[in-house]
Amino acid sequence: MKLAPLAAAVAFALALPAAAQAQSAEDKAPPRIEAALTLGSLGAGPEFTFRPSPYLGLRASAGFLSVNHTFGVNDIDYRGGLRLASYGGTIDLYPFRKGLRLSAGLRVNRNKVRLTATPNGPVSVGQLTFTPDQIGTLSGTVTVADLAPTFTLGYHTGKARGLTFAIDGGVMLQGTPRVNDLTANGTLATDPTFQAQLADEQTQVNAKIDQYKVYPILQVSIGYGF
């Protein structure tokens, strides 16, 4: 009867090296390459991943897209034409070798918003009211920092070969958006009084968009592993 526990212990001891060897073989699996298409708040574009180990991934991606958004400042409705254009790299850590991943990266951020507004009635520019003919069309460009760090939490199917799926959510710290070139082309475009009010209007626009210094990230990727 006492031989059974001894046999079990011997079997367990013999199994440990085999399990360790299998684990070591998995950790030393050959590097993997994956090509994918990614789509989300950063835009749509290609994504390439290199997995030198089950715990580590290196990604490079680019995103491009154009969308429109309207927002109001005082009684002026601005139409924002958002042009997404960014690219960069990401380091992925897989604490469980697959599935959950923690990522940090850096993107070259060329995202811009082209603002335009053409009032069809008297509106306030700065602190004074002007007619549509006096204002014409207001226009300017919203820019952000050229380099922006990213931090995301995601899930990757982790297949060695074949179709893969991933989803990542997080933030891009793009700095404070700024309009530095708000102009008008109406009859008072060069009038000093109007120019002073236009500068005040630009300050108000910047105060409105100050909340967008943290840009949300939600990306879905479908790829193929080699």
Confidence (pTM): 0.81
Q: Which of 132, 145, 21 lies closest to 76 in space, CA to CA?
A: 132
- pLDDT digit string, tens, across residues 151-203: 999 999 977 789 999 999 999 999 999 999 999 999 999 999 999 999 999 99
% of the chain with per-residue pLDDT over 70: 87
C-alpha dist (Å) from residue 221 to 88, 113, 217? 16, 25, 13
What pLDDT is stored for residue 22 in this prediction?
Answer: 41
Tokens of 198: 């236009």
C-alpha dist (Å) from residue 143 to 50, 110, 115? 32, 8, 11
